[in-house]
């Protein structure tokens, strides 16, 4: 998935002639802390609610504020992972998307990104979760997939977590089977360290769905 496929249609950018008070009202309506400022197709930067409040001039046009506008944006064809990285690094609630001519196409809202991440991770699919710990040099995706598939199951999603000052990796695997006992036994047989596992659909999947829905509700406040 690329950036332009994540654009949120409901996001309305500011113009430099809009007042600070109008910008704050738009942020409250669109449930975000940042909005892009755009003149025509020209992207001028992101402005935050904190910057507007600090000016103490709510009726002044945002184009007249002495602000350090955040020139954060993503190109339309950049991958979802780059989108995630910018959101995380810059602590944004909104990320503008520009075309190859640096023209503003739209913006990605944080709740939209979270929803797509949930779909990518197969959170709504029934199945089991297995968390493994391996040495970096021993990590082999092909072998892990083979172990799962040899038990008539499929990997729905998989992600890695690394730790500072450690040669260990944590591998979280979502599998399309609730009965993961035989898969666990095979991992044990291949000398894998199984840190955790969840397999009951009623206990795990419903709890995971509840947490996902709670997160989405929080982001919509």
**pLDDT, tens only, 23-37:** 999 999 988 999 999
Which of 185, 175, 161, 166 is closest to 205 using CA atoms? 175
Same structural domain, 83 and 170: no
Q: What is the pLDDT averaged over residues 51-76?
A: 82
Same structural domain, 108 and 158: no
The dihedral built from the CA positions of residue 187, 191, 192 and 193, taken in this order, carries a sign that is positive
How many domains does the structure of the chain reveal? Answer: 2
pLDDT tens-place string over residues 108-154: 999 888 887 777 666 667 789 999 999 999 999 999 999 999 999 99
Same structural domain, 73 and 147: no
What band does 155 get if pLDDT is binned at 50, 70 and 90? Answer: very high
Q: What is the pLDDT averaged over residues 65-81?
A: 80
Same structural domain, 61 and 143: no
pLDDT for 95: 93
Same structural domain, 193 and 102: no
Q: Where are the alpha helices (DSSP H) in the chain?
A: 20-30, 49-55, 80-90, 110-120, 141-149, 181-189, 206-219
Per-chain mean pLDDT for the chain:
85
The dihedral built from the CA positions of residue 26, 32, 36 and 41, taken in this order, carries a sign that is negative
Q: Which of 75, 92, 117 is the last residue of a domain?
A: 117
Provide the 10 A C-beta neighbour count for residue 103: 13
Q: Which of 55, 83, 117 is the last residue of a domain?
A: 117
Domain of residue 25, residue span: 3-117
Same structural domain, 65 and 102: yes
pLDDT for 202: 42
pLDDT tens-place string over residues 186-219: 999 999 999 998 876 544 445 555 655 665 565 5
Question: 0.75 cut: is pTM over it?
Answer: no
Q: What residues contact residue 189 under an 8 Å CB cut-off, 6+ apart?
A: none
């Amino acid at each position: 998935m690329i950036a332009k496929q994540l654009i949120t249609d409901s996001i309305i950018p500011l113009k430099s002639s809009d007042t600070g008070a109008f910008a704050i009202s738009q942020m409250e309506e669109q449930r975000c802390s940042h909005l892009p400022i755009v003149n025509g197709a020209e992207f001028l930067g992101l402005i935050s609610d904190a910057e507007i409040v600090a000016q103490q001039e709510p009726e002044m046009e945002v184009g007249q504020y002495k602000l350090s506008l955040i020139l954060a944006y993503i190109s339309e064809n950049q991958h979802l992972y780059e989108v995630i990285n910018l959101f995380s690094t810059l602590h944004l609630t909104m990320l503008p998307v520009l075309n190859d001519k640096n023209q503003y196409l739209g913006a990605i809202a944080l709740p939209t990104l979270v929803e797509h991440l949930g779909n990518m991770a197969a959170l709504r699919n029934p199945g089991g979760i297995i968390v493994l710990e391996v040495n970096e040099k021993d990590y082999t995706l092909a072998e892990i997939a083979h172990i799962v598939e040899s038990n008539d199951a499929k990997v729905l999603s998989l992600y890695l977590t690394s730790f500072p000052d450690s040669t260990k990796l944590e591998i979280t695997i979502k599998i399309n089977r609730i009965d993961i006992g035989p898969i666990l036994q095979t991992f044990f047989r291949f000398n894998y360290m199984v840190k955790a596992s969840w397999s009951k659909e009623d206990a795990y999947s419903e709890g995971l769905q509840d947490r996902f829905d709670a997160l989405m509700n929080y982001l919509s406040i």
